[in-house]
Structure 1
Amino acid sequence: MDRIKVSQYVDIRRSDGRIHGARIHVVKPEQRSVTVEWTENGVSHGKDISFDELLRVNPQLGFAASDETGEQTADHPMPVRNHDEDIAGCWKWPKKFGSSTIPKSLTISASPLGHRRAMLPRPKHVSVECVGDIRYFREYRSQIDFHPIQKSDLSEEHQICVCVRKRPLNAEEQLKDIDVVTVLNHKQVVVHQPQTKVDLTKHLVNSEFVFDYAFDEAASNELVYRFTAQPLVKTIFEKGIATCFAYGQTGSGKTHTMGGNFTGRSQNVADGIYAMTAKDVFQTLHERRGTTAVDLTVSCSYFEIYGSKLFDLLNKKVQLKIMEDGRNHLQIIGLTEVPVSNEQEVIKLLQRGNRIRAAGQTSTNVQSSRSHAIFQFILRTKYLHGKFSLIDLAGNEKGADTLSMNKQMHMESAEINRSLLVLKECIRNFGTENYLPFRASKLTLALRDSFIGNNAKTCMIAMISPGMSCCEQTLNTLRYAERYQVRELVVPSLNEHCLTCFDPP
């Protein structure tokens, strides 16, 4: 019984048979039970569990639940933290298992941002070796003082803001997968990769990433909006071009973040970044009326890029053409712009467009977005005053992720990956004198304004899945996002008047 302590991580069995982790909140020796707590979908839960049940699920605790003396019955005790080791994070295993003869891995840096990372607080015991199962992930997290981002925190000014959002494990993943992503604080994310050395001993490699903001699984859409799209609203009232896009693998939560919560296949668009942006646009518009002589009107457009073609989601999916005029200004020929005067009208446009947006099925998402969807708020006087593009990118796919083997599905995935690769190249070369391949993809051509001019601001929300089965894709997403922020910005322009001469309506 001495092995049971408050704040200790243990496994518990739910009434539906699921086994997941929880933290001991209260130990009750007289009742021979404990009270445990855990968080699920952002809500805290708790229950009482007897010592007998605790032992059945956690035999490594090594006490006899029916024996008042607490005599140990387990063959092998749980690995004990050795606080006297010179190298932090080393686990001591029973002699029966032996120890690895392979030299310890060098510290792995997943990012060139070493100077920024060195300034952040390090978690205790960052390198954890000899990982056998989920209990060691929880032990790692029990050593960390978490400082998640709060709504009361101040947002910072960025020309390019790069954020990461971790979604929670879904119901299916909770039965068979392990959460291998830890959000340490409002900037730092760690991905734990279980690996096996050549002598079959297990160890954990921790890859650290630093971003402008990091959101854990408990963060709401409102909190994410507070630090991503909301600071960009004022940009379009200052004759700027603002862009916010969600990037990540299929099923990582992009459409949920941009468009709102799902109940089954029904989406509540009022809870997404689209609708929240609409609310702030009209609020700012009303505040500025009477204080400025500029009479602004608001209109919206909604189109998708499916394959190499553009379709108008507000006009029966009519095919569009994207062209440049003689002044190098981007023009989407035939795109519908609908005047709007309040948030509810915007929500109706979103619902109207979402009904006909292209979707398909993959092995990771039963209703995967197969197109890049771009919703725009356009401010005009007589001429264009400002534009805010909110983009839900199609999920990047691996070849093994396509459930259907038909030709159409393969063509879709190939085109999605190609367009995201071109976007990656534009990001890689942004801020340099290298050529930016805008015309290699309709997506990057449509986003060209986001990369050009001093009055262009962009926010990228990298969406990641926390499961071990998605570890490789999660790392790819985080590395992709890092390339967006590592360069000192030397903003290119097509010509000195490119974004100061606005097109007439």
Structure 2
Amino acid sequence: MERRRRNAEVKAEKEEISRLNQDTPHWELLAMITQYRNTITLSPLSYNDFIEDHLITVAVRKRPLNKFDLVKKEIDIITIPNKNQLIVHEPKYKVDLTKYLDNHVFTFDYTFNETCSNQIVYKYTAQPLIQTIFEGGYATCFAYGQTGSGKTYLMSGCPKNLKEKGIYALTASDIFKEANSEKYDDLKLEISCSFFEIYVKKVSDLLNGKQTLKLLEDGKQQVQVVGLTERTVSSVDEVLHLIKIGNEERASGQTSANVNSSRSHAVFQICLRSKLNPKKIHGKFSLIDLAGNERGADTFFSSKTTKMEGSEINQSLLNLKECIRALGRKGAHLPFRGSKLTQVLRDSFIGANNKTCMIAMVSPGVSSCENTLNTLRYADRVKELGGSEVQGSKSLDHDLHMETNSAVRSSHSLNAYSSMKSFDKQSKDRLEDKIINAHKDIVKKLQKSAKEAEDLLNSSKNDVEKYSLNWNMLIDDVVTSLNKAKM
């Protein structure tokens, strides 16, 4: 009797809570997320934090819930506990249909919460790359994420608030400021811009009426974009005018929410040339708005064209990931011929003085959970920093990362050390401990990959295109990790 009474009270309490929260369909999920957030200390990135120097920088920006999300009664399922980590609270059900949270923790170079302005994002991502092009190198900045995640706002800024400039304007402003400084007077630098898009396997000039362009390799094995329009500019306003022309051209002729626009890669390039040698490029900054990563089923219709788009986007993103990773492993094979995008950017992946940054954009709403996880997994595999637990401080993250790398490198040297007669027992034991730790790391990695594979299998019925992309990335990821761990 007592148990029945208690169960009845619990049931009545739940019904009363449901009645009070009937205007908030995700109130149970919100309560669980709030409870989780209360257990951690939040220390997000600030404007005064130290800027780290990376060959490849991978950052994530979370946009705030917008008015459309609020109308749909969306809730925020993303938590950014510190400047390097992000947590996605994925809602799931147990066998008995009880709701619970699957908290996915990702680690990146920088994570920007919804309060961070474009200026802060720029300061830690694209701005450190400016000096690269003045030193004769190539810099590349990618914006990646599903349609509606804030890529246009990040790249172009807010048209209603001129103070909130985008990456295009901020980058151009700093390039002109640097080019006009006394430091580079002797070079007599000239700045020019080009703007083109890659849609399926077609390259179009956005500054010349979408004329079709050809990609050819010259005698020096350098890829040339034949017929590409390049305009000389002398101010930031001229640069923004060219971007406006290109964006209008890119969206022209579309009838359903710029489907093709979101399914194509847009490449805006700023070139530096010395008037003393105008035929040679002194440096180049490429700003790239990558195709939306949403599932083909999320667009208005699914057709042969949509499948072809999805297939080509998947192929180009896979090749881009491998090319960026090859940039981080000097001397590694560069599969740039795998797609038009990587062919065009070949020069950005070779050379000793090239740097890249990728800014992954994510939407915080619960309905975007699957696309958000896809975006984060892709960014994670571009540059794996590891980290499946929420850390208390950045220095601890760094030490763990450095120790893991050191242990893996040490494993390759075990046989050589073992054969040395003068190798003392204490050093050998220490080395073996590191190898065992590296082995444990690989086991954790394989367990994580197995869970991802299981999740992927469960979602395979939703979208074959996205399944194919994620499955190939997962296989590449596991093979790379196993190769690193070989003794």
Q: Work out whether the TM-score is over 0.5.
A: yes
Once the two structures are TM-superposed, the CA of residue 340 in structure 1 deviates from its matched residue by 0.8
Structure 2 residue corresponding to 1:197, chosen from 89, 94, 101: 94
The one-letter code sitting in structure 2 at the alignment partner of 1:474 is T
Alignment correspondent of 2:247: 354
Matched, 1:439 2:337: yes
CA distance in 2: counterparts of 1:219 and 1:228, whole angstroms: 13
CA distance in 1: counterparts of 2:325 and 2:226, whole angstroms: 29
CA distance in 1: counterparts of 2:10 and 2:293, whole angstroms: 50
CA distance in 2: counterparts of 1:354 and 1:269, whole angstroms: 21
1:138-287 superposed matches below 5 A: 138-174=34-70, 175-261=72-158, 271-287=165-181
Which structure ranks higher in relative contact order (CA pairs < 8 Å, sequence separation ≥ 6)? 2
3-state SS of paired residue (1:400):
helix
1:44-443 superposed matches below 5 A: 75-76=12-13, 132-174=28-70, 175-261=72-158, 271-288=165-182, 292-358=185-251, 369-381=262-274, 382=277, 383-427=280-324, 431=328, 435-443=333-341
The normalised TM-score by structure 1 is 0.66
Contact 2:56 2:328 in 1 (8 A): no
Contact 2:250 2:261 in 1 (8 A): no
Contact 2:259 2:299 in 1 (8 A): no
Once the two structures are TM-superposed, the CA of residue 214 in structure 1 deviates from its matched residue by 0.4
Contact 2:169 2:236 in 1 (8 A): yes
CA distance in 2: counterparts of 1:374 and 1:417, whole angstroms: 18
Contact 1:235 1:242 in 2 (8 A): yes
Cα deviation, 1:290-333, whole Å, max 9, x if unaligned, reads x6522111111111111111111111211111111111122111
CA distance in 2: counterparts of 1:156 and 1:424, whole angstroms: 22
1:454-493 superposed matches below 5 A: 454-486=352-384
Structure-2 change in CA distance of 1:397 and 1:421 (3 Å): farther
Once the two structures are TM-superposed, the CA of residue 430 in structure 1 deviates from its matched residue by 5.2
The one-letter code sitting in structure 2 at the alignment partner of 1:252 is S
Two-structure CA RMSD over aligned residues (Å): 2.8
CA distance in 2: counterparts of 1:311 and 1:476, whole angstroms: 28
3-state SS of paired residue (1:176):
coil
* Larger proportion of helix: 2
Cα deviation, 1:364-417, whole Å, max 9, x if unaligned, reads x88952321111110001121100000011102313212124444443333223
* Larger proportion of strand: 1
Cα deviation, 1:145-190, whole Å, max 9, x if unaligned, reads 3222122222111111000001112222223322111111111101
CA distance in 2: counterparts of 1:401 and 1:361, whole angstroms: 16
Q: What is the identity percentage for the equivalent residue pairs of Structure 1 and Structure 2? A: 54
Once the two structures are TM-superposed, the CA of residue 262 in structure 1 deviates from its matched residue by 5.2
The normalised TM-score by structure 2 is 0.68
3-state SS of paired residue (1:293):
helix
The answer to which of 433-442 and 404-413 deviates more is: 404-413
Contact 2:294 2:371 in 1 (8 A): no
3-state SS of paired residue (1:257):
helix
Cα deviation, 1:419-449, whole Å, max 9, x if unaligned, reads 2233234345554566432112101111222
- Residue-pair matches, total: 360
CA distance in 2: counterparts of 1:472 and 1:327, whole angstroms: 44
The one-letter code sitting in structure 1 at the alignment partner of 2:366 is M
CA distance in 1: counterparts of 2:355 and 2:333, whole angstroms: 20
Cα deviation, 1:466-504, whole Å, max 9, x if unaligned, reads 11222122112111111222388xxxxxxxxxxxxxxxx
